[in-house]
Amino acid sequence: AQAQLFQTLKLEALGQLTGGVAHDFNNLLSVITSGIALLRTAEDPARREKLAEAMAQAARRGADLTRRLLTFARRQTLHPGPLELRGWLTEMRELLARTLRGDITIEIEMQPDLWPVLVDAGELELALLNLAVNARDAMPRGGRLRLRAQNASLSRAGSPDLVDGDYVRLCIADNGIGMTPDVLSRAFEPFFTTKEAGHGTGLGLAQVYGFVRQSGGAARVQSEPGRGTTVSLLLPRAPAEAVQAASRETPPQLPDT
């Protein structure tokens, strides 16, 4: 039987972040604390130097960790506005083609009367690039990246952590190596990566997840080892008032009296 892995993301990226980072931080602090204890009794200068270096290194890693955390946290301020995905995706195709290698084909499928969505366009672009980079890394021998956008009205059958209403579902699918159940279950954790040092930060999917949740949408991932991965984003439909307000260049002025 073919087991399909399916996961709805319920973890809140920041909650997960706290646990993992607190653990790493504690490890670094215990290197420093035990280093101090040993330093107090050590007499050999070479040994003292070694201890001091180990402690300095732990402190540097701690500083690096907080720097990355702050960069991650700073991203959380969003400026949502109405966005027409049709034109936006057409523009993104070029950017994607430059991000991907030539042996990866890009397919874009859009429903004709797609609703405008209410998102931070810059953050959505970052999310799509993060997903494209992951897809590229998952297809070392080439493959196909398929983007699909369609309107979706959620009623009570929808996901429990979503408000009923109108959304646009944007699916990003690759036919690459896929994820094992272990990797899938941790994929959204900030700083979780299976890539070699220097090749992954482990923040790609955490950004995607944090961004869509904060926008009032949802993200989920389906993946099957050897077959590929599909990330589905539900983006909230922009209310008509928001679209009208955005299309007005300047707000209406009352005549001076």
Contact residues for ligand ADP (CB under 6 A)?
130, 134-135, 138, 174, 176-179, 183, 187, 192-195, 200-206, 229
Count of other CB atoms within 10 angstroms of residue 170: 27
Nearest-approach distance from CB 65 to ligand ADP, in angstroms: 16
d(CA 225, CA 178): 4
**Cβ(42)–Cβ(51) under 8 Å?**
yes
Q: Which of 55, 60, 50 is nearest to 35 (CA)?
A: 55
Q: Which of 115, 211 has the CB closer to ligand ADP?
A: 211
Q: Which of 120, 174 has the CB closer to ligand ADP?
A: 174
Q: Please give the DSSP secondary-structure letter assigned to residue 164.
A: S
Q: Which of 85, 187 has the CB closer to ligand ADP?
A: 187
Q: Which of 141, 248 has the CB closer to ligand ADP?
A: 141
Q: For residue 100, give both structure tokens.
A: 């991907």
Nearest-approach distance from CB 70 to ligand ADP, in angstroms: 18
**Cβ(164)–Cβ(13) under 8 Å?**
no
Residues 6 or more apart whose CB falls under 8 angstroms from that of 231 comprise 131, 171, 172, 173, 205, 208, 219, 220, 221
d(CA 113, CA 98): 28
Q: Which of 152, 206 has the CB closer to ligand ADP?
A: 206
Nearest-approach distance from CB 23 to ligand ADP, in angstroms: 18
Nearest-approach distance from CB 172 to ligand ADP, in angstroms: 8
Nearest-approach distance from CB 57 to ligand ADP, in angstroms: 23
Nearest residue relative to ligand ADP (C-beta): 204
